[in-house]
Amino acid sequence: MTNGATIGRTIYHDACINAAYDALQKNNYKKAIAYAEQAKLWPQNLGVGKHYDVDERLDNFIIAYSLDQMGKKSKAGQVYKMIAEHSTPKYLNESTKFCLQLMALEKLGKTQEANNLLKEALQHEPNNQYLKWVEAKYKNNNPEKIKKDILAAGNEVQVYDTKFVDTEFELLLGFLKVL
């Protein structure tokens, strides 16, 4: 169950990310970075404090991509490295943002590490449909069918004994369209 404060923060985050997408489409990379940085904030007036384990791979990838497009390769590389080193706690289910981690590893020339990480994640969560989508997307192996199945289920997929919803799946899809 989600409370009002969490919903408020989610709306705030999504609005910032969508504003970053608009800026990216206009090649306004400075503005995209500013919006992605704003998305990472937890304004006090929203009534919810920052969680212990926050997944900022999408926000950071927008920043890294924008820096890359601006020719700031060294700074972009630092942010890609931060994304690549992200560690989802074992008590949480992996989300589709894992795709961005694999892409960051690719940008850093670490293809084998990306492949190993994907294999390990799939072994840890073999029934996670989101990871199956990530695998299909990463390997360019018809991710559309899995995406349609996930969206048809209302973004709710079975993982182990519980249902899991990747609330940012559609946000990620929007970003991948911008790339």
pLDDT of residue 107: 97
Range of the domain at 143: 4-178
pLDDT of residue 1: 38
pLDDT of residue 10: 83
70: tokens are 């601006």
- Phi first, then psi, for residue 163 (nearest 5°) are -90, 145
Q: How do the pLDDT tens digits run along the chain, 179 residues long?
A: 345 557 778 889 999 999 999 999 999 999 999 999 999 988 766 666 666 678 999 999 999 999 999 999 999 999 999 999 998 877 678 899 999 999 999 999 999 999 999 999 999 989 889 999 999 999 999 999 999 988 888 877 766 666 778 888 999 999 999 98
Q: What is the CATH number of the domain that holds 173?
A: 1.25.40
pLDDT of residue 114: 97
* In contact, 66 and 32? CB cutoff 8 Å: yes
Amino acid at 152: A
What domain count does the chain have?
1
pLDDT of residue 4: 55
